[in-house]
């Protein structure tokens, strides 16, 4: 027992040999069966590739298959199921444990080539470290969504202050096609935000461009770069210009 919550260590094991734990508690609206926030917080020693479109489709498939819901109770994200009938608790524990097993195990699949993974992680790591030094942790969210209607759209960095948001998307790529895909994704994400009611709460939309890779100046990339640069109400900043971000994301 953990307070008024029962932890159940299930026989479900992930491909990295971690047994899945499920937590059951009683609430006014019934019995809540949840993952304790462990999946999103890395308790299963995995880094969920939530910026990878293929993995997101896989995750959404398993959520639909096992009828699992998700809630962002900052700073934790919980996956859960609810029932009003005590006799159904074992069924929900089974479903949620199976979902977590698949979500964790699927995260170890290589969805991109090794060079692209290396370049993407390097740039994300540099940018995340930069923003963590710049923005107090209580205002900063990494790899986060801002609209319940668009939960599948996550931004690399979100500054949340006084119920207003600054959104930041990273663009990089080890080859021209990956850089173009990254540009297109950033552009599409902001297009979706601008079509949603949440847009009125967005103060700034920033595209952080990795200009340390060859593809940044590639002729094949230029037409797609022009589309990004032509968008109004968006700030485009290269990594070499990153000191500009100190003004753009100021919390003063």
Q: Report pLDDT digits (tens) over 132-174.
A: 999 998 999 998 888 877 777 889 999 998 889 999 999 999 9
* Per-residue pLDDT tens digits for 173-202: 999 989 998 999 999 999 989 988 999 999
**Are 159 and 139 a contacting pair, CB within 8 Å?**
yes
Query: Above 80 in pLDDT, residue 38?
Result: yes
Phi/psi of residue 176, each to 5°? -55, -45
Q: What is the DSSP letter of 175?
A: S
Q: Which helix (H) or strand (E) holds 204?
A: strand 202-209
CA distance 193 to 183: 16
* Per-residue pLDDT tens digits for 196-240: 899 999 999 999 999 999 999 999 999 999 988 898 889 999 999
CA distance 217 to 239: 14
Q: Please report, for residues 183, 191, 201, the alpha-carbon distance to residue 223 in angstroms, rounded to integers and kept in the order given.
A: 11, 18, 31
The residues that bridge with 21 in the sheet, in sequence order, are: 9
Domain ranges of the chain: 5-106, 114-248
Q: Is the pTM of this model over 0.85?
A: no
Sheet with 30-34, side-by-side order of all strands: 5-13, 19-27, 30-34, 76-83, 69-73
Q: What is the DSSP letter of 66?
A: T
CATH number assigned to the domain with residue range 5-106, chosen from the 4 options 3.40.50, 3.30.1460, 3.10.620, 3.30.70? 3.30.1460
CA distance 33 to 91: 10
Equal fold, 5-106 vs 114-248: no
CA distance 46 to 148: 25
pLDDT of residue 2: 59
Q: Which CATH architecture has domain 114-248?
A: 3-Layer(aba) Sandwich (3.40)
**Are 180 and 221 a contacting pair, CB within 8 Å?**
yes
Residue 207: Cβ-neighbour burial (10 angstroms; 0-12, 13-18, 19+): buried
Q: Which helix (H) or strand (E) holds 27?
A: strand 19-27
């Amino acid at each position: 027992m953990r307070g008024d919550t029962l932890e159940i260590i299930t026989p479900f094991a992930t491909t990295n040999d971690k047994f899945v734990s499920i937590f059951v508690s009683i609430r006014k609206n019934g019995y809540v069966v949840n993952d304790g926030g462990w999946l999103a917080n890395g308790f299963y020693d995995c880094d969920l590739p939530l910026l990878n479109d293929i993995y997101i489709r896989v995750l959404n498939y398993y959520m639909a298959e096992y009828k699992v819901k998700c809630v962002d109770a900052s700073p934790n994200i919980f996956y859960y199921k609810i029932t009003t009938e005590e006799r159904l608790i074992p069924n929900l524990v089974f479903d949620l444990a199976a979902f977590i097993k698949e979500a964790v195990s699927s995260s170890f699949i290589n969805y991109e080539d090794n060079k692209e993974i290396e370049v993407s992680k390097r740039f994300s790591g540099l940018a995340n470290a930069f923003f963590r030094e710049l923005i107090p942790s209580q205002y900063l969210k990494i790899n986060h969504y801002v609209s319940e209607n668009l939960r599948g759209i996550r931004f690399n960095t979100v500054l949340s202050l006084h119920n207003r948001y600054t959104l930041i998307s990273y663009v990089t790529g080890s080859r021209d096609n990956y850089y173009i895909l990254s540009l297109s994704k950033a552009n599409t994400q902001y297009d979706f935000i601008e079509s949603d009611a949440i847009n009125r709460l967005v103060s700034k939309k920033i595209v952080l461009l990795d200009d340390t890779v060859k593809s940044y100046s590639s002729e094949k990339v230029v037409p797609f770069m022009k589309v990004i640069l032509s968008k109004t109400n968006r700030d485009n900043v290269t990594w070499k210009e990153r000191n500009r971000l100190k003004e753009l994301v100021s919390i003063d």
